[in-house]
Amino acid sequence: MIDLDDHLPAIVAGDATAFGRFVAGAETRLRQSLGSFAGVVDVEAVVQECLLRIWQVAPEVVPDGRPNALLRLSIRVARNLAIGETRRRRIDPAIVRRLEREAEGAVEPEIPDPRLREIIARCRDRLPDKPAAALAARLEGPWRADADLADELGMRPNTFLQNFTRARKLLAACLGAHGIDVAQELA
């Protein structure tokens, strides 16, 4: 089993690159753990808020002898943030209790398959210009709003989104042609 706590000493020392390696292994499980809350909280916002808090509290984490203490803490923090958000939104407590029960508990990290990486890169190279440009814009400028990315590419915001959708679907079709089921591999 991969133990993301291997990165903990460097994270505690303030190494953001090590924190990036932790996030690379933790993000999918963290996101999946919030699946039951997806209809009532913005999962993306909760994941980002959670990771920022984990960076702040990492120096206080004491490993308990079991692997992936930092990932387990992240899942707890994310769930508490999601519950706090449901309270703020005055969601029926009975619904929140049900969502809590349904929240996924798996804590094993997940690392991308190197074969998948190679095939996706090849599929990306075959995208038409405009979908490729929309995909590249989001990949290279995630700190900018879609409207700004669209403006830079000379596209209207909805044209940008349509090109991004097209890129995503073409990638899925290309992966499918290589025997990779996007729904299984990426969901």
Chain positions contacting other proteins, by CB under 8 A: 14, 16, 19-21, 23-24, 27-28, 31-32, 34-35, 38-40, 42-45, 47-49, 51-52, 55-56, 59, 111-113, 116-117, 120-121, 124, 138-139, 142-146, 158, 161-162, 164-165, 168, 171, 182, 185-187
CB of 118 to other proteins, least distance (A): 9
- Residues 42-45: contacts with CB under 8 Å, at least 24 apart: 43/82
Minimum CB–partner distance for residue 88 and other proteins (Å): 11
Min. distance of Cβ 166 from other proteins in angstroms? Answer: 10
Select 55 or 151, whichever has its Cβ closest to other proteins. Answer: 55
Q: Which residues contact 46 (CB under 8 A, 6 or more apart)?
A: 34, 37, 78, 81, 82, 85
Query: In angstroms, what is the minimal distance from the CB of 66 to other proteins?
Result: 24
CB atoms within 10 A of CB 97: 11
In terms of CB distance, is 36 or 65 closer to other proteins? 36
- Provide the minimum distance between the beta carbon of 67 and other proteins in the complex, in angstroms, as a whole number: 19
By C-beta, is 24 or 61 nearer to other proteins? 24
- Separation of alpha carbons 149 and 141, rounded Å: 8
Give 118-175 as a 3 state SS string: HHHHHHHHCCCHHHHHHHHHHHHCCCCCHHHHHHHCCCCHHHHHHHHHHHHHHHHHHH
